[in-house]
Amino acid sequence: MPAVKLSDGPVAVTGASGYVGAHTVSALMKRGCEVRACVTDLNNADKTEFLLAMNEEHPGNVTIHQANMLEQGSYDSIFEGCIAVCHVGTPMAYGGAYKPQEVYDGATSGIMNIIGSIKKSGSVKRLVYTSSFAAIHHPRAPGYQYSETDWATDNREQDSSWDTARIVEDGMVAYSMAKVECEQLVYRLAEEDGSFDAASICPNAVVGPMLSRVHECVGSFQHAVARALAGDDIDRGWQALWNVVDVRDVGEAQALMIESEQCGNGSRYLLSATDPSGELSVKRLQEHLQAMFPHIDVGSPPSGYDEMVEKSGGPYEFHAYCDKARNELGLETHAIEETIRDTAESAIALGLIEPKLK
């Protein structure tokens, strides 16, 4: 299918008030695009005012629309006339907001409603679906480098954790299975329909500047960076290396995908570290933050970290790089130091933390 031009018409973004969704809106508006930002609550100023403020900052235009992806037909009028849809929204378990079963059901039911509204529109030519590295990662030997050809269902024959019966109790299994199912479903439905194509991004550990207080997302990677400035232990995923992608790069990649001639139905783009500098241990993260903010008493890895590293030979590593997105889409990524600094500074500017001064 021919590439879509952003000048051809509006682009709808679901989950637009969220961390990734907001940066997707920003990336599109910087290109002069007309964006229809979909949120669940028009009355929540923390989720709408910062989006509307982008009208003063960027050449594009954004309008806010209320919709619920769990309600059939909720996006019908919003998608009408749109040339593309970036489906970013999905139920997340941060802070216990949703139970594992709700994460799975919300994602899989929601995607059917999104597809239904796309078909009714008659105008949407490209769907960009926000999947996850969770749809790629599967058990492999140390040193293996993951790519877009990997699926979370691979190499699971002897893995008792990969079982649909565990969806009700294990949030990670529920999330991973939902992302795999939704990704494969949108490719199949797009091919069967023929009027639009579907492509996906698979972000890894997303970090970068928060644009609103609602982007703190308790338990997230950006939340861990913020809390480190308050002197808290850095205990988010401390057993493994963080494989970091800047949230601005995630938004930028979606804008590039809409217009890319190399991107077609079934295309996947792994959004992860640019190079090994973006694979961080929590100890290395602490060192970065302490060097950037010498007047702050930055939090440390949790108790027992050094013993764990010595016993195991280091944090668990899963290597993955965004080479395909850089080569095919022309994505220019942020340096890891810039990503960390901007995350920390945004947390302070938004008043999310009180830095622990020395």
In single-letter form, the type of residue at position 247 comes to V
Q: Cβ contacts of residue 149 below 8 Å, gap of 6+? A: none
Query: By CB neighbour count within 10 A (0-12 exposed, 13-18 middle, 19+ buried), where does 7 fall?
Result: exposed
Contact 108, 179 (CB under 8 A): no
| 213, two tokens | 């207080």
* Span of 1-15, 44-58, 68-82, 332-346 with lowest mean pLDDT: 1-15
Average pLDDT over residues 239-259: 97
- pLDDT score, position 2: 65
pLDDT of residue 280: 96
Please write the tens of the pLDDT for every residue from 259-269: 999 999 999 99
Strand residues in 149-225 grouped as ranges (E): 197-203, 205-207
End-to-end CA distance of the chain: 58
Please give the full DSSP string across 284-300, using - where no structure is assigned.
HHHHHHHHH-TTB----
Q: Strands 268-271 and 197-203, how do they pair?
A: parallel
Percent of the chain's residues with pLDDT above 70: 97
Q: Mean of the pLDDT values across residues 159-180?
A: 87
Report phi then psi at 268, rounded to 5.
-125, 145
Three-state DSSP state, 203: strand
Instruction: For the chain, give the mean pLDDT.
Output: 93
Q: Which residues pair with 235 in a beta bridge?
A: none
Check pLDDT > 60 for residue 97.
no
Tell the residue number behind the tokens 């910087």, with chain if given.
Answer: 30
Fold of the 6-215+243-276+319-334 domain? Rossmann fold (3.40.50)
**DSSP secondary-structure letter at 2?**
P
Residue with tokens 């830095």: 355
